[in-house]
Structures are given as C-alpha cells and as structure tokens.
Amino acid sequence: MEDSFDESEKKGNDFSEYLLDRVRQLEERNLKLRDANRKVENEKRSAENQKVRYEREVRKLRSELERLKGPPLLVGTVLDVLDDNRVVIKSSTGPKFVVNASQFIEQELIAGARVALNQQSLAIVGALPPSKDPTVYGMEIIETPTVSYDDIGGLDGQIQELRETVELPLLKPELFKRVGIEPPKGVLLYGPPGTGKTLLAKAVAKETESVFIRIVGSELVQKYIGEGARLVRELFEMARDKAPSIIFIDELDAIGAKRLDSATSGDREVQRTLMQLLAEMDGFENRGDVKIIGATNRSDILDPALLRPGRFDRLIDIPLPTYEARVEIVKIHTSGMNLAHEIDAKKIAKLTEGASGADIKAIAMEAGMFAIRAERESVTGADFDDAVRKVVGMPNAETQQLGSMFA
Ligand SMILES: Nc1ncnc2c1ncn2[C@@H]1O[C@H](COP(=O)(O)OP(=O)(O)OP(=O)(O)O)[C@@H](O)[C@H]1O
Ligand SMILES: [Mg+2]
C-alpha cells in the first residue's frame, strides 16, 4: 500500500515535472513563433508599402501615357474677356469664337494673351507664356554689346553721323526740343558685305548703353499669314518695354524689297510684314528712346516707302575701306595678335585694294593659321604675305563668301 502510495507520489512528481517542462517548451516555442510572426508582419507591411509605391508609379505612368496620347491643343489669342467667364478668342487658323475657359487657369486672361485650346470644344485649357520670348523668333538681345567705336577702322565720318542721328536723340533729347525739330527716326546703313554695318550698330548700342535688339529681316518672314506682322508688332513692343533700346534690322532687303504687282501669296505675306513695319515706324514717338537702325547690301531694291522721311530717313553709305581705312583696320585686327615683329600695315593695305573689313579680318586669321601650322607661337610678316595671297588672290566670288561668313 505504502509502496503504491510512494509510487503514485513519484509518478505525480514526474508528471508535474513533465508538465512544467512541457510548459517551458511551449513557452519557448510561443516566443519563437511570436518572433516569426513579427517578422512576417514586418515583411507584410513592407510589401504593402511597396505595393502602394508601385500602384502610384503605375498611376503616374498611366496618366503620362494618357497625356501623351491626348490630342494636340490649338493655340489661340484672347481677343476679349466676357463677364460670364466666357472668352472671345481668335484661333490660329483665323476665325473668331466665343468659348469657355477652365477655372483652373492660374494666370489671369487678358486680351492678347496666348492660350491653349481644346481641339473639339475650343475651350481654353491653359495659358501660354507670351510669345515675346525673343529666342523663339531668332531675335538676339544683347543687354550690353562689347564692340566700341575704337574697334571700327576708317569709318569716322559714318560714326560721326550715326552719333548725331542715334546717340544725340537718345542721350540729349532736349537739344532737339529746343531747336524745335524732330530727330531722324530710322537710320539705314548700306554698303557691300563685310564693311562693318553690323559692327557699327553694335558700337552705337554700347555707347548709348541701350539694349540692342537684333533681328535678321528674313526671320520676320513667317510661314503663316499674319505671323510676320505680329512679330513686327511684338518686336516694337519689346523695344518699348526695354527702352532705351535700339532695334537693329539686319538684311532689311529680305522684307523691304520693292512691292511688285505680280505677287505670289508668299510675296504678299512679305509685303504685309513690310506694311506692319511701316505702320509701326509711323506710330513711333520720335523723341522716344527707341531707335531703329537698318542694314542692307542692296539699298537700290528697297521699297521707296521705307526710305521716305519719317522712316529710314537717314541713309549712311558704308563703302569698301580706302587705303587709309585699311591701314587702320589691319592695325585693329592685329593688335591682339602675338607678332614676331612689327607688321607693315601699310604694305598689307596696299596689297588689299578692294578688300572689305571682313576680308582683312580673315587675312589676320589666316596669318595666324599659317603660324600655327608651322608650330610657331608668333606670327611673322611672311605669314601675312601668304595670307594676303590666299584671301585676296581668291576668285572674287569666294572672297565675298568669306566676307559674309564673318558677318
Ligand atoms: N571698318 C571695320 N573695322 C574693323 N573691322 C571690320 C570693319 N568692317 C568689317 N570688319 C570686320 O568684319 C566683320 C564683319 O563685319 P560686319 O558684320 O559689320 O559686316 P556687315 O557690313 O554687317 O556685312 P553684311 O552686309 O554681310 O552683313 C566684323 O566682325 C569685323 O571684325
Ligand atoms: Mg551684317
């Protein structure tokens, strides 16, 4: 009996030990599982994050795809803003429409603003920056040109005249007021290629501390009807904004050629541009701080309407340089060169009868090239002799090409 009691007590002990052991085991297991669970949960969370990220990316790509697949927008100009959020626009193809405007346009719509239109409803969906952005139309704006009168050789008389007609009205408008005359409005520089017309215009802009706005005549000829005229209008508007300023229209003959009766539609567009130019010049305040300088190689083909008083009323002839002028130009273009010894400018000038300033610049450059080819660091007189032969000795047509190449 006792035995069996002992036995059962022992069994009970064993059992409780076993249970304790088992509980410990289970607790350990529980801990491990809890760890594993935490890990899995972390993984789940990061996977969910990733999913959100991917979803966002998919949405972005999808909307980009939509955007790219969307129909193109038309460009129009606001003519008038009506009271009820409706707007009168002129589409780029010509006709005028009354359309609705999106409420989400941040910029205020004013007459003249460029806007983007939905193709079907022509509703305004966005405002565009003003097209006065000069780079778009090949205008070149130089806030402060670096060319000065000293860089121009042999054109003293022309510089004098340009100073009177451009500088004086800009710097001392009261002189003209006192005498009671209006200063000339526009100055036309004409002469063969490479004689310094563009150079002169830049020098005047620097000397008067004006903004220099250069546009080449051919840039004003646009593909679509009315575009050229609008460009001229914007050009003058911009010049007024930036005043004091000088508008320099280079190669004026591109738009200023005589108007003929038998004209193609392309010619008519060129003429419309010219007429806008004439109108803008007429509407211009003479004592104002915007000056117009034109340049051309062919004053003979210019429309007489451009040359009448009140427009380009001062013609300045820029001829090919004389002997004395060539000596000066040679000195200007060799002044920055590393010369082995003094260069005989007179000799070069004598050899370059009929050459333009640009030709002489080309000679200086060629002489430098000869020195580089011979692996010398300084330029000798012999280099110049070779260069003169190379540039002036060329057939006439090529020399002229060189001239315009450096324009
Ligand atoms: N009188 C001059 N003095 C100094 N350099 C000159 C002179 N004339 C021309 N050059 C040189 O020739 C280059 C071309 O001149 P520029 O651009 O003024 O010619 P352009 O008369 O406008 O010719 P184009 O009619 O072909 O436009 C200038 O950059 C300048 O280095
Ligand atoms: Mg030029």
Note the pLDDT of residue 120: 85
Mean pLDDT score across all residues of the chain: 82
Confidence grade of residue 286 (pLDDT, cut at 50, 70, 90)? low
Mean pLDDT along residues 136-152: 73
**Least reliable range by pLDDT among 23-37, 97-111, 316-330:** 97-111
pLDDT given for residue 21 in this prediction = 93
Mean pLDDT of 246-271: 74
Distance CA 155, CA 190 (A): 13
Q: Please name the residue whose Cα sits nearest to atom 13 of ligand 1.
A: 358
- Whose C-alpha lies nearest to ligand 1, atom 6? 357
- Average pLDDT score over residue span 41-51: 96
Residue 403 alpha carbon, nearest atom of ligand 1: 26
pLDDT, position 157: 92
Contact between 215 and 248 under an 8 Å Cβ cutoff? The reply is: yes
In which band, very low, low, confident or very high, does the pLDDT at 265 lie, cut at 50, 70 and 90?
low
Kindly compute the dihedral angle of the four CA atoms of residues 316, 318, 324, 328, in this order, to the nearest 10 degrees: 100
d(CA 165, ligand 2 centre) in Å: 20
Q: Which long-range contacts (CB under 8 A, 24 or more apart) does 274-281 make?
A: 274/303, 274/306, 275/229, 276/228, 276/229, 276/230, 276/232, 276/233, 277/220, 277/232, 277/249, 277/306, 278/305, 278/306, 278/311, 280/232, 280/233, 280/236, 281/185, 281/186, 281/310, 281/311
Q: Which comes out higher in pLDDT, residue 50 or 203?
A: 50
By most ligand atoms within 8 Å of CB, the mutation choice from 147, 152, 189, 199 for ligand 1 is 199
Could you read off the pLDDT of 289-306 as tens digits, one per residue? 788 899 988 877 788 888
User: What is the assigned CATH class of domain 74-127?
Assistant: mainly beta
Give me ligand 1 centre to Cα 246, in Å: 19
Name which residue sits closest to atom 10 of ligand 1, judged by CA: 357
Of ligand 1's atoms, which has the minimum distance to the CA of residue 296?
A: 25
Percentage of the residues of the chain whose pLDDT score is greater than 90:
24
d(CA 278, CA 273): 9
Tens digits of residue pLDDT in 385-401: 889 888 887 544 444 44
| pLDDT-derived band at 2, boundaries 50, 70, 90 | low
Of 195, 250, 318, 331, the residue with max ligand 1 atoms within 8 A of its CB, to mutate for a pocket test, comes to 195
State pLDDT tens for residues 180-193.
887 788 888 999 99
- Does residue 405 carry a pLDDT above 60? no
**Is residue 217 helix, strand or coil?**
helix
Are the C-beta atoms of 343 and 381 separated by less than 8 Å? Answer: yes
- Give one DSSP letter per residue of 248-302, joined into a string: EEESTHHHHBPP-SS--HHHHHHHHHHHHHHHHHHTS-TTSSEEEEEEES-GGGB
pTM of the model: 0.65
pLDDT at 133 over 80: no
Of the listed ranges 11-20, 139-148, 287-296, the least confidently predicted one is 139-148
Q: Residue 22 above 90 pLDDT?
A: yes
Q: Separation of 205 CA from ligand 2 center, angstroms?
A: 15
Fold of 323-405: Helicase, Ruva Protein; domain 3 (1.10.8)
pLDDT of res. 397: 43
Mean pLDDT of 272-277: 79
Q: What is the mean pLDDT of residues 148-160?
A: 90
Q: What is the mean pLDDT of residues 375-383?
A: 89
Which listed CATH number (3.90.1150.10, 2.40.30.10, 3.40.50.300, 3.40.50.2300) goes with 135-317? 3.40.50.300
145 lines ligand 1 (CB under 6 A): no
Looking at residue 70, its pLDDT comes to 83
Ligand at minimal distance from the CA of 253 is: 1
* Region of poorest pLDDT, from 125-129, 197-201, 307-311: 307-311
Q: Which atom of ligand 1 is nearest to 332's Cα?
A: 4
pLDDT score, position 40:
96
